[in-house]
């Protein structure tokens, strides 16, 4: 008994993680299909202890599958998600293409699982930006307790969020630092990423913010509460996997660090690591490969009347992408929104 699953973009970082997460979470799969562009047809990808070959997206019959997990970029999603949805297959899309469409629910299951029911308008569900996903998982229980009014967030985002070429560029530039004459010029990034920080992710907008920063603002409002004011500074850092966030939160009602710590400890998807000593906090190294979103450095922000400061870390390929997509599918099953497994 299980569901028929297609993974579009199966050769990419996130697509491969989707296959892994399905296995690790023992998702009920009766059939699995790895799909990619024509140039990747025949490429082998791992699914548990099996190896399967990628099929051609353009030739595949989506009427034969129940769920399509898609991580192939906005242009592919824009063209293919409506076509796939029209075949009766539910599309869970990881790109930014459908996130801001009023008829497409934007979902983080720990936060707004009930909103999944809106998927029937287009048969599409959107996955949020990787930085937004981990942020709202931590904000939700605090918002329920004391009502958040304003958030200031600075992100420290790993290169895997920009794809395999970005990871290769960091690796090559790092090696080149130790081998004179082998310097690698920036291609994926605007400046050298090795031993550097770049305060620029996605394109610049007219108001001086980048699109990544805008995404965090708009998505937090759509997922959590439209009244929350949020400002972000998004920075690319020379880390392979794992996004970190420094977050300052203002509340309508008083909330102490002790209260916040207890609330977060009991919240779904959160692991609190907060000892006030050297090493008593989470970093991307510990978060990589883990399903949890880690929260550390919980303390009072004395510059705000009802303020807290904290540190959030998560694996951007998992909670920020593949894991969240699979959790959406799991939530659909729990809510009986999918037809019975074959």
State whether residue 14 is helix, strand or coil: helix
CB burial class (10 A; 0-12, 13-18, 19+) of residue 254? exposed
State whether residue 29 is helix, strand or coil: strand
CA distance 23 to 37: 24
What is the distance, to the nearest Å, from the Cα of residue 24 to the centroid of all Cα atoms in its chain? Answer: 18
Listed in sequence order, the residues at least 6 apart from 120 whose beta carbon sits closer than 8 Å to its beta carbon are none
CA distance 273 to 76: 39
Q: Cβ(175)–Cβ(293) under 8 Å?
A: no
Tell me which of 130, 143, 197, 234 is the catalytic residue: 130
Angle 286-291-293 (CA atoms, 0-180°, nearest 5)? 70
Respond yes or no: is residue 33 known to be catalytic. Answer: no
Angle 26-315-25 (CA atoms, 0-180°, nearest 5)? 5
Cβ atoms within 10 Å, residue 214: 17
Residues in the chain: 342
What is the per-residue burial (b if ≥16 Cβ within 10 Å, else e) of 186-212? Answer: eebbeebbbeeebebbbeeeeeebbeb
Respond yes or no: is residue 68 known to be catalytic. Answer: no
DSSP state of 330: H
**Assign residue 177 a region: left if phi > 0, alpha if psi is -120 to 50, beta otherwise?**
alpha
**Closest C-alpha among 125, 151, 123, 124 to residue 138:** 151
Residues annotated as catalytic (active site), given as ranges: 130, 243
């Amino acid at each position: 008994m299980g569901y028929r699953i297609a993974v579009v973009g199966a050769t990419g970082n996130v697509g491969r993680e989707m296959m892994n997460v399905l296995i690790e979470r023992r998702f009920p799969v009766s059939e699995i299909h790895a799909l990619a562009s024509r140039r990747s047809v025949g490429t082998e990808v791992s699914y548990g202890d099996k190896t399967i070959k990628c099929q051609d997206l353009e030739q595949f019959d989506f009427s034969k599958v129940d769920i399509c997990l898609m991580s192939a970029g906005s242009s592919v999603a824009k063209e293919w998600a409506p076509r796939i949805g029209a075949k009766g297959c539910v599309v869970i899309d990881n790109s930014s293409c459908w996130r801001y469409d009023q008829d497409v629910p934007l979902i983080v299951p720990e936060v707004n699982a009930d909103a999944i029911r809106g998927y029937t308008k287009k048969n599409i569900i959107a996955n949020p930006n990787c930085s937004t996903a981990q942020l709202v998982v931590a904000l939700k229980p605090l918002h329920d307790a004391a009502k958040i009014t304003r958030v200031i967030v600075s992100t420290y985002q790993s290169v895997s969020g920009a794809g395999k070429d970005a990871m290769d560029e960091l690796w090559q530039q790092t090696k080149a630092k130790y081998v004179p004459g082998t310097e690698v010029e920036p291609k994926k990034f605007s400046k050298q990423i090795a031993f550097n920080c770049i305060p620029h992710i996605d394109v610049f907008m007219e108001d001086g913010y980048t699109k990544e920063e805008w995404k965090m603002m708009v998505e937090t409002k759509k997922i959590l509460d439209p009244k929350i004011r949020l400002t972000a500074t998004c920075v690319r850092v020379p880390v392979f996997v794992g996004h970190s966030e420094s977050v300052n939160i203002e509340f309508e009602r008083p909330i102490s660090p002790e209260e916040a710590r207890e609330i977060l400890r009991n919240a779904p998807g959160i692991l609190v690591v907060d000892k006030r000593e050297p090493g008593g906090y989470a970093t991307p190294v510990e978060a990589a490969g883990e399903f949890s979103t880690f929260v550390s450095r919980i303390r009072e922000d004395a510059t705000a009347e009802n303020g807290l400061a904290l540190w959030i870390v998560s694996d951007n390929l998992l909670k920020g992408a593949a894991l969240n997509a699979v959790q959406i599918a799991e939530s659909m099953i729990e809510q009986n929104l999918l037809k019975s497994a074959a």
